[in-house]
Each structure stands twice: as C-alpha cells, then as structure tokens.
Amino acid sequence: MENITVATQPIEGQKPGTSGLRKKTRVFMGPHYLENFVQAIWNGIGGVVGKTLILGGDGRYFNDRAAQVILRMAAASGAAKVIVGQGALLSTPAASNLIRQHKTDGGIIMSASHNPGGPDEDFGVKFNTSNGGPAPEEVTNAIFAATESIREYQIVETQDIDLSVVGNQTLGDMTIAVVDPVTDYAALMETLFDFHAIRALFSGGFRLRFDAMHAITGPYATEILERRLGAAGGSVVNATPLPDFGGGHPDPNPIWAKDLMDHMMGPDAPDFGAASDGDGDRNMVVGRGIYVGPSDSLAVLAANAHLAPGYAEGLMGAARSMPTSGAVDRVAEALGIACYETPTGWKFFGNLLDAGRATICGEESAGTGSDHVREKDGLWAVLLWLNILAVSGKSVAEIMADHWATYGRNYYSRHDYEGVDAGDAAKMMAVLTSRLSGLPGQSFAGLAVTTADDFAYNDPVDRSRSEHQGLRIEFEGGSRVVFRLSGTGTVGATLRVYLERYEDDPTLLDQETMVALAPIIAAAEEIAGITAATGRDAPDVMT
Ligand code: VG1
Ligand code: CO
C-alpha cells in the first residue's frame, strides 16, 4: 500500500447546491472530479487527521466505486476511522443517526436523492457535520473555496476493500468498521413510536402498501414494517435497491409514484400507502382514496405528534421552509409554540433543532423530520402517521377532514418547469425581482397584491443571513405565489412556482386543488409571464 500525492487543477462548477454537489454520473466519473471534491471537503473542514467519519450512500450507480475512492482518500489524509454501511449503503437519515450516535466528526453521503440514477443520470456527494446535519453554508462555502484553489490530492493505492461483511478491518493506520445499515436506525425508531399499538393495528387487518421505489428505504422498511411491526409480507414493494432505481425517478409524488397512486385510488385500495425517495429522506403519504400533500402532512404530524411516545411531552416549536404552505403555522399557533420560516433545504433547520427551538420541521417537497436526527426522514414520517392512525382509530380521510374543519385548508400545489434554458430563467427572475417593489396595490387576474419581496433569512441562533431565497407575492385573503430556481438539478434550470390559497369556509373545504387554485395560477402567469419567458405553456411536473 502506497500513499501518493496526485497533481490536479481546480475543476469549475463544484459548488454545492441545496443539498450537496450533484452532477451527471459521467461528470463525477471523469478524471479527478470526485477526488478533487473529496479533497476539497477535507481541506474545507480543516483536514481529517485523527477524525472519525461515517460513509454510505443510496446504492445508485457509481456508489460502490466512489466509496472505495473516498475510503482511500480518508486513509491517505490521516483519518482515524470510517464507519461504513454494509455494501456502502446508508439512507440519509440513518447516516445522520450514525454520526450522532457514534459522536463522529461528520460523514459523507453519496446520493443525488430524488434524481434518477445510472451511468447517464445523476450522482451526488454531500458532507454532514458532527451534529448529523447537512453542512451549513459557512462550511459548504469553505469547501467550494477549496475546490477553486486545489493543486493536489492524497490517495492510497490498494486493492478494493471488501465492504460486504460486517466487521473491522484496517487500511494503513485507519480503521474501517463495516456496520449493518439498518440495525441502529430501527432501534431509534422503536424509542420514538408505539410499536405495540402499530402492531395491534396490523394484526387487526390494517393493510399497507409501501413503495420503496427500488431505492435505499427497501431494507429499512422491510425490517421495520414487515418484520418488527407485522405488516403482511409483500406490503413493502420495490424493496431491493437497484443502481438505476429500476429506470424510474425515485421521487415520491403522485407523478413518479403513479403506481402507488393507482393502487390507493383503486377499488381494493389498502388503508395506507407511502413511498420514499432515492436516499430515504422524503416521504409521500396517501390514504385510501385520498392523497395527503406534504405541507398538510407536516401540519397533521405537528398537531398529533403527542400521540407518539417520543413526542408525548409536546413540541418545543415547529419550522417549515418558506415555500411550504402555512398549514403548520396554524397548528403552531393553536399549540402556543413558535413557528419558524427558513429557506429551502434541510441545512437551515439544523441550528433550530440543535438549539431546542424546533422539534418538528418540514418542507413542501415531501420532507418531514424531527430532532431525532438532523435530516428529514421518510420512514419516520410514515411511522408517525401509523402511530397516529393506530392510537386515534381514524382513517386518513377522517383525519384530514377533521384537520381542515379545525384549522381551515391551505390549498397548495407546486408547478415545476424543468430543463429550462438557464439564461432565460435567470432573466425572468431578474425582471421579476426588479418589479417586486411596484407590485403591492396592483391586481392580477382579479387578485390584489398586498406584499412582495425577495425572501432573506436571518438565522436566530447564529445570526447568519441568507439572501435571495425566493420571490414571494402575497394577495389579499392570504393567498400567495412563490417563484424560485431549484438548486438540485443537473441540466439547465428548473423554475419552481409554489401556489397557495387559504380557505376556511366550511362549505369550500372539499374542492379539487387545481380548481381552488385556478385564480392564483392565472395571477402567477399574468405577473411573471412564465409562458413567454420559458417557452412552455404548461409545467412539466405538478405536485
Ligand atoms: C429540492 C427541494 C428541497 C429539498 C431539496 C433536497 O431542492 O425543493 O425542499 O430540501 O430538494 O431534497 P431544490 O433546490 O431543487 O428546490 V433531497 O430529498 O434531494 O435531499
Ligand atoms: Co432525498
């Protein structure tokens, strides 16, 4: 085994986005690409000498090769130990848990989350800090700066390391501990939820369909839902992680999880359906005949969390990303707890969770989680739902009807325009930004604008400020539209348009979402000229 120093040069564009660095897999496989970025992580965090790290990924194409490179680079730079999920697999929430449980200095997660996988699709690398959460902007900025000045990297030359067997081995002076990816995570879940009540629910004939979408959650869901909780064998479908996720988008929404939607809307629908994404941090929840939007799911979980043992003492606070609907705000108000509004991306919840200001957090993009780890957690949300259903004895439809009757309903939808020309998208946003201050007082499609701004966040814990986090336009009556460019795409730009309308008239709580939102959709088009700017007359994806 030899420790070698390889000369390299900065590679353009290695700036981490909303959640790590994501690129086409072939870009990551190109000469020095992964190596440069990993060395930049080491350099950006002050080196890894004597440190312990966690390593795992969602199993997508190149996951296994990348793990070998990262281990060899950790050893070359003097890391003391790397704890790796067997087969180099770990879901994002399980990785976060291991970082915390083993009190390590952080970890690397190999994933492009909900983006498709394969040689012609996407790959990604993300660094999480010692609290278990995604590196905050200060750290990702330091890593990016390191990518711009890199001249060499260290790596050891060695045979492939066998990651298929649980146990310890050494690579030079570094220990590699291969651990079962599921065990510790499953144990954590048992401390939070009433497994006894959920088991009784299943033994009473309650039927579940959990679609793991050929991604990382399969082994976790099978162990927890089928083996420990007694859901019928076969309740977890598409449970084996595949390098290309079976050719699908591992994105749990009604479009990409259409098969699950068809089952849940069909004549012999199970009682509860759920799906998760590539790396297991997102969730989709659907009852028999009723889809639950992520913003509503967050609100329902906040309102009912006390039914689970881990949250029996109540919540310290709630938090949501800015584009997420205000449904949870109403719950927080009723509970008398604080509700924070953060920029998009889980990294912004970290300080609130660490400081004990928030217990539950969520995003409209199907991410919910709590202070049990520092990532959003798909299976956690599913288990909390099951716990609530088991203890309340209600169906999903009944829970939603009760919730809306109590708090009113925030009709909500997100429209995505994908692969738009990056220049066109930037121009549209720039023009809109310049017009913001003049919008209040004007009417669009019959809706009067009350406020319009470019969202900036002042972190109440560390006082850091993040600007340009999305353009918000509010209308009379509490409706709003938000415009934002995605920070996770790998081709062109993705424009996200978030639409919301609040309704508390008891006779109007049962509308089709798109019907309820029609005036907001018309106003959004009139304000921004989306069709003219993007050349698209309809969104690619509506969730
Ligand atoms: C998207 C979502 C955001 C989420 C992020 C990572 O970001 O909108 O809410 O935190 O993906 O999710 P963007 O910048 O494309 O809008 V995941 O499951 O990729 O870790
Ligand atoms: Co994800």
* Atom 17 in ligand 1: residue holding the nearest Cα: 113
| Span from the CA of 58 to the centroid of ligand 2 (angstroms) | 9
Task: Please tell me if the CB atom of residue 147 comes closer than 6 angstroms to any atom of ligand 1.
Answer: no
- Provide the pLDDT for residue 195: 98
- What pLDDT is recorded for position 501? 95
Cβ of 351 closer than 6 Å to ligand 1, yes or no, is no
Distance from C-alpha of 527 to C-alpha of 530, rounded to nearest angstrom? 8
| Assigned token pair, 57 | 């990924």
Instruction: Report CA-CA distances (Å) from 224 to 56, 89, 107, 237, 351.
Output: 20, 17, 24, 14, 30
To the query of whether residue 437 is one of the catalytic residues in this protein, the response is no
Domains, in order of start, for the chain: 2-181 (3.40.120.10), 185-407 (3.40.120.10), 409-542 (3.30.310.50)
Q: Which residues is 499 bridged to in the sheet?
A: 413, 481
Q: How far is the CA of 26 from the centre of ligand 2 (A)?
A: 21
Identify the residue whose C-alpha is closest to ligand 1 atom 20.
113
CA of 138 to the centre of ligand 2 (A): 22
Max Cα distance, the chain (Å)? 73
Distances (CA, A) of 238 to 172, 211, 260, 444: 39, 6, 11, 45
Closest ligand to C-alpha of residue 496 is: 1
- Phi and psi at residue 50, in whole multiples of 5°? 75, 5
Ligand 1 pocket mutation, candidates 253, 365, 540, criterion most atoms within 8 A of CB? 365
| Ligand 1 within 6 A of CB of 487 | yes
Q: Compute the radius of gyration of the chain from its Cα atoms.
A: 23
CA distance 445 to 198: 48
Amino acid at 382: V
Query: Which of 22, 111, 488 to mutate for ligand 1's pocket (most ligand atoms within 8 Å of CB)?
Result: 488
- Do 316 and 411 meet the contact criterion of CB atoms below 8 Å apart? no
- pLDDT score recorded for residue 489: 76
Q: How far does residue 347's CA lie from ligand 1's centre (Å)?
A: 11
Order the strands of the 338-342 sheet from edge to edge: 338-342, 317-321, 360-363, 367-370
Nearest-10 crossing angle of helices 294-304, 378-392: 50
User: Looking at residue 537, what is its pLDDT?
Assistant: 87
CA distance 262 to 301: 25
As to burial, measured by CB atoms within 10 angstroms (0-12 exposed, 13-18 middle, 19+ buried), residue 31 is exposed
- Residue pointed to by tokens 């003049």: 438
**What pLDDT does 488 receive?**
79
Q: Return the ligand 1 atom nearest residue 487 CA.
A: 14
d(CA 375, CA 361): 10
Confidence (pLDDT) at 42: 98
276 alpha carbon – ligand 2 mean position (Å): 8
pLDDT reported for residue 453: 96
Write the residue with the smallest CA distance to atom 11 of ligand 1: 488
Please report where in the chains the tokens 């009784």 appear, as a residue: 200
User: Which residues are CB-contacts of 514 (< 8 A; sequence separation ≥ 6)?
Assistant: 413, 521, 542
Alpha-carbon distance of 486 to 471, in angstroms, equals 13
Residues forming a β-bridge with 318: 339, 360
Nearest in space to 301 (alpha carbons), one of 175, 386, 212, 183: 386
End-to-end CA distance of the chain: 51
In this structure, the residue with its CA closest to atom 13 of ligand 1 is 486
Mean pLDDT, consecutive 10-residue segments, the chain of 543 residues? 94 92 97 98 98 98 98 98 98 98 98 95 97 94 97 96 97 97 97 98 98 97 98 97 94 93 96 97 97 97 98 97 98 98 95 97 97 98 98 97 96 94 92 95 95 96 94 94 89 93 91 93 93 88 88
Contact 300, 292 (CB under 8 A): yes
Place of tokens 């509506």: 542
Q: Which of 113, 325, 365, 370 is catalytic?
A: 113
Q: pTM of the full predicted structure?
A: 0.94
Among candidate residues 1, 6, 62, the one with its CA nearest the CA of residue 32: 6
Q: Which residues surround ligand 2, an ion (CB under 5 A)?
A: 113, 277, 279, 281-282
Spatial CA neighbour of 3 closest among 76, 69, 54, 60: 76
How many whole angstroms separate alpha carbon 139 and alpha carbon 462? 14
CA atoms of 175 and 429, how far apart (whole Å) = 49
* Cβ neighbours, 10 Å, residue 200: 14
Query: Which contacts of 344-347 are long-range, i.e. CB under 8 A and separated by 24 or more positions?
Result: 344/18, 344/469, 344/470, 344/484, 344/487, 345/18, 345/19, 345/134, 345/321, 345/487, 346/19, 346/133, 346/134, 346/281, 346/374, 346/375, 346/376, 347/19, 347/133, 347/134, 347/135, 347/136, 347/137, 347/140
488 lines ligand 1 (CB under 6 A): yes
Structure confidence at residue 491 (pLDDT): 79
Q: What is the reported pLDDT for 541?
A: 87
